[in-house]
């Protein structure tokens, strides 16, 4: 029997609804009387990096040993088989699993592998607390499969991270390494590459370690580093971290130098930093000794200060490679694109690696726009499985299988109106595209740009997730012109807006309510205010989850806002906004006494 496409879609929808119904029913069962929702439990998860929610500054610290003693032995676990409990845990968020585990020590014992499977220590404070706790309770280490440590986290926002000696972190990790018997992924994200002894300790004492991620700062790489002694890795990442300096101050300095020193005509050398060659032992490791590599990243997020020459990677061949991150690409001192010196080499490399699903190319065009075309020399069989691409649109123009791409990020540089048609031609080829991030340049916020927005939206009719970024001024008038076109995206459920901030802007809540007014089918709205002089170029951000009634009509927004005020300390606010369908559908703001675990 032949099933029509519409029937097939209906069956798929029924399956999704069934899974959602099962998940909701299980969450209801274990979040009412049996498993009380606790503020401390979520806070406990946050302090170990397990839940991505900032705790209130007044919260008291709780450690794992304290949480372990709460609740009687047995409880509801006495009548439920352990395999059923584990199946339930797979359907819950990590916060709900933590709440679930706090009902009894028996449940906690069963759920420890879920709680500590992935540990992300996203600040100096979390590194200090968690590593000290693991030192006291080493039996927990065997449950850790993925560990990420971020001491002195340079991207901490809105509050800067506190200082922590990274050698102390290395010493703690060394002492615990023998207990991480099941750890297969380690991610170091400090200010500098850790002391070399850490890599040797992890290699010798963590036999299952197959994925290594690390960043570097300003210190030069040691050609004899133990980091390059790993063998048969499946993932490796070497990244120049954010925050090593931009071109702004350097350009000003170069201009000042030229004006003060007659005859000095050096053309701003910081615009074209010398490519740094990676040690031969590095290439020997990844090309000769890691034939089963599935993920590779060699890139720089501080391309005005330090860039690795990744061209030797083009000689590698990894049949299982599915994730690739390279960069920064851009203009070289002769204004040719690179590295590599010939983009045809890159095209041939991509054609060979038919398993690639995720590609991220970092581009930095400094003071200039990207060229209108880039010839990639892709073969007819290139990239048949590619579903996620982050880079510039020109590289997709000759993609032989555009229908495979579902997620696209074009935020490497702003799209000007003069390139709208070229970008839309590429977007129209991506017939399966459901998620788009795009950076646009609105040169005149006072004019009517409705046609610009409509043309863009019409080229991506299947979007479910849309992030629109405009770092120039973007007043309410422009916002209305944009969001009035979103009805052309019937499946859109999440909309995110990043805009340049001015003191005349309406509040973030008002922006979210305006977006929801014109697009009531949305289920999440995110708003960000960008400002160049703020940390991470971000002044404030808000996340607004839409609560709907049985008919799908919005009734309220659950709000989380964080930011840096004009005066005062950074803030985190959680509250609820009631939505009334009257008088133009204005939202009534009300501070909720309790929103689930948000108190």
Q: Which two tokens stand for residue 272?
A: 């074209």
The pLDDT assigned to 433 comes to 99
433-443 burial, b at 16+ Cβ within 10 Å, e below that, comes to bbbbbbbbebe
Residue 456: predicted pLDDT: 98
Are the beta carbons of 445 and 474 closer than 8 angstroms? yes
Tokens of 490: 């019937």
Strands (E) in 485-595, as ranges, are: 494-500, 524-530, 538-548, 554-563, 571-579, 587-590
Strands 554-563 and 571-579: antiparallel
- Two tokens at 111? 């759920």
What per-residue confidence (pLDDT) applies to 17?
52
129 vs 127: CA distance, rounded Å: 6
Cβ-contact 427, 433 below 8 angstroms = yes
Residue among 241, 154, 167 at smallest CA distance from 197: 167
For the chain, domains (ranges, CATH) are 20-115 (no CATH), 369-500 (3.80.10.10)
CA atoms of 74 and 65, how far apart (whole Å): 18
CA angle 410–412–417, rounded 5-degree value: 65
DSSP string of 274-306, one letter each residue: PEEEPPHHHHIIIIIS-TT--EEEEEES-TTT-
Residue-wise pLDDT for 285-323, tens only, equals 999 999 999 999 999 998 888 999 999 999 999 999 999
Long-range pairs of 379-385 with CB within 8 A, sequence gap ≥ 24? 379/347, 379/348, 379/351, 381/351, 381/354, 382/347, 382/350, 382/351, 382/354, 383/350, 383/351, 383/354, 383/356, 383/359, 384/354, 385/322, 385/354, 385/355, 385/356, 385/357
3-class DSSP assignment, residue 263: coil
Please tell me the predicted confidence (pLDDT) of residue 74: 43
Give me 89's structure tokens.
């845990």
Q: What is the structure's pLDDT at 213?
A: 98
* Residue ranges in the chain whose pLDDT is less than 50: 1-9, 11, 18-75, 247-269, 582-599
Going by C-alpha positions, the residue among 396, 476, 385, 478 that lies closest to residue 440 is: 478
pLDDT at 246: 52
**Lookup: tokens for 372:** 């209108």
**pLDDT for residue 56:** 34
Q: What is the number of helices (H) and of strands (E) in the chain?
A: 16, 21
- In this structure, are residues 241 and 298 in contact, taking their beta carbons and an 8 Å threshold? no
Q: Which pLDDT score, from 0 to 100, does residue 443 have?
A: 82
pLDDT at residue number 72: 42
Between CA 108 and CA 444 the distance in angstroms is 58
State the pLDDT at residue 524. 98
Angle between helices 94-101 and 39-47 (to 10 degrees): 120
């Amino acid at each position: 029997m032949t099933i029509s496409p519409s029937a097939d879609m209906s069956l798929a929808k029924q399956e999704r609804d069934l899974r959602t119904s099962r998940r909701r029913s299980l969450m209801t069962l274990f979040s009412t009387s049996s498993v009380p929702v606790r503020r401390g439990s979520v806070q406990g998860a946050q302090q170990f990096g397990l839940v991505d929610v900032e705790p209130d500054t007044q919260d008291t610290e709780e450690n794992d040993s304290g949480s372990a003693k709460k609740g009687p032995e047995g409880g509801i676990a006495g009548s439920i088989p352990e395999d059923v409990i584990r199946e339930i845990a797979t359907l819950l968020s990590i916060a709900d699993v933590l709440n679930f585990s706090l009902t009894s020590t028996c449940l906690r014992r069963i759920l420890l592998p879920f709680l500590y499977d992935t540990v992300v220590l996203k600040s100096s404070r979390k590194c200090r607390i968690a590593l000290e706790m693991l030192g006291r309770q080493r039996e927990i280490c065997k449950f850790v499969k993925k560990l990420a440590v971020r001491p002195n986290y340079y991207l901490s926002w809105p509050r800067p991270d506190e200082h922590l000696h990274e050698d102390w972190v290395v010493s703690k990790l060394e002492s615990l390494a023998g207990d991480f018997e099941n750890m297969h992924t380690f991610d170091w994200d400090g200010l500098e590459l850790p002391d070399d002894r850490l890599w040797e300790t992890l290699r010798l004492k963590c036999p299952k370690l197959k994925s290594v991620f690390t960043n570097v700062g300003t210190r030069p790489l040691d050609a004899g580093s133990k980091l390059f002694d790993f063998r048969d890795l499946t993932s490796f990442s070497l990244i120049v971290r954010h925050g090593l300096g931009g071109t702004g101050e350097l350009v000003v300095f170069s201009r000042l130098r030229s004006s003060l020193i007659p005859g000095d005509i050096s053309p701003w050398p910081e615009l074209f930093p010398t490519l740094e060659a990676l040690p031969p032992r590095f290439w020997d490791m990844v090309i000769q000794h890691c034939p089963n590599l599935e993920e590779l990243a060699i890139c720089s997020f501080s391309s005005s200060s330090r860039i690795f020459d990744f061209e030797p990677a083009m000689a590698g061949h990894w049949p299982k490679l599915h994730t690739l991150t390279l960069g920064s690409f851009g203009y070289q001192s002769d204004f040719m694109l690179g590295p590599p010196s010939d983009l045809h080499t890159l095209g041939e490399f991509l054609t060979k690696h038919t398993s690639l699903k995720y590609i991220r190319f970092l581009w930095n065009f400094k003071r200039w726009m990207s060229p209108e075309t880039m010839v990639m020399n892709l073969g007819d069989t290139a990239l048949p499985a590619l579903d996620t691409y982050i880079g510039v649109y020109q590289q997709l123009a000759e993609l032989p299988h555009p229908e495979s791409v579902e997620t696209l990020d074009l935020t490497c540089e702003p799209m000007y109106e003069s390139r709208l048609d070229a970008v839309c031609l590429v977007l129209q080829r991506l017939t399966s595209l459901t998620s788009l991030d795009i950076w646009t340049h609105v040169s005149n916020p006072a004019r009517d740009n409705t046609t610009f927005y409509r043309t863009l939206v019409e080229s991506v009719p299947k979007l479910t997730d849309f992030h629109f970024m405009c770092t120039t001024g973007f007043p309410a008038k422009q916002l209305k012109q944009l969001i009035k076109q979103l009805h052309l995206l019937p499946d859109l459920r999440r909309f995110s807006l990043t805009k340049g901030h001015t003191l005349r802007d309406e509040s973030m809540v008002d922006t979210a309510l305006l977006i929801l007014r014109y697009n009531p089918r949305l289920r999440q709205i995110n708003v960000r205010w960008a400002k160049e002089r703020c940390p991470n170029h971000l002044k404030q951000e808000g996340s607004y989850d839409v609560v709907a009634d049985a008919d799908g009509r919005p009734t309220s927004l659950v709000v989380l806002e964080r930011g840096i005020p004009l005066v005062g300390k950074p803030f985190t606010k959680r509250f609820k906004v009631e939505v009334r369908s009257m008088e133009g559908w204005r939202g009534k703001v009300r501070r909720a006494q309790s929103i689930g675990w948000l108190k």
